[in-house]
Amino acid sequence: MDYNPMELMICVASRYLEDGATVSVGTGIPCAAAMLAQRLHSPNLIILFEAGGIAPLLPTMPISVGDSRTMYKAIYTASMGEVMESLQRGMIDYCFLGGAQIDMYGNLNSTMIGEDYRHPKVRFPGSGGANDFGSLAWRTIVVTPQSPRRFVPRVDFITTPGYLDGPGARERAGLPPGTGPYKVITNLAVLGYDEETKRMMVESVHPGYTLKDVQENTGFELIAKGFSTTPPPTREELKVLREEVDPLKLVIGREAK
């Protein structure tokens, strides 16, 4: 079967969203993954958008978190305040986040590149709600292309906390026990986190790639105790993704870079 890296990442991400779970998504890959899951194996998946749409049945791909389609047949059309309150109450199982940099402990940087905060080399939009979601959602999923420039030994700025500097660090910082990074899905592999060290580890390598490919595109040493080959997208997944979720190729037509 022919599929591109973007389609692969969306299909793999959707498989982690079980029926009845709650997931906060933005536009793009997270929304496509949630829509695919809702149509294929998780009809009772509760999708939340930061702007206030709670449990919609998305008819087509929205172009923003405030798009009217994010409220289509929703249980509740709320506001950012209610969504953040749900997060603080521990009611959100999964959130999707991204950033310019990620390190071995899952810390994310979407603020700046450089050593001087006031005079950075590059300034990014910043947190938005990313710190809130990464701090309080039970499981954080990152979907991103993989390269040494993005996967760095230490992020230049911690916008969103992962496991900070290792075991127990989140709890010492006052974050709820049991929350934190869960999966990193890239164009090369699925990465998780070692339970003892909280460091990033290889769980599966995508078809056509090797562990060497994955490591060469990472700026730090990955743990590889044992890993499998990622099951490729099925015909059904690709059909629904292409014909129902994103027929205009707003997301799957992009290059993964």
Question: So which residues are the catalytic ones?
Answer: 50
Strands 200-205 and 228-229, by their bridges, are: parallel
Burial label, 198 (beta-carbon count in 10 A; 0-12, 13-18, 19+): buried
CA dihedral 232, 234, 237, 239 (to 10 degrees): 120
Cβ–Cβ < 8 Å for 121, 148: no
Cβ–Cβ < 8 Å for 25, 17: no
Burial label, 80 (beta-carbon count in 10 A; 0-12, 13-18, 19+): middle
Cβ–Cβ < 8 Å for 36, 12: no
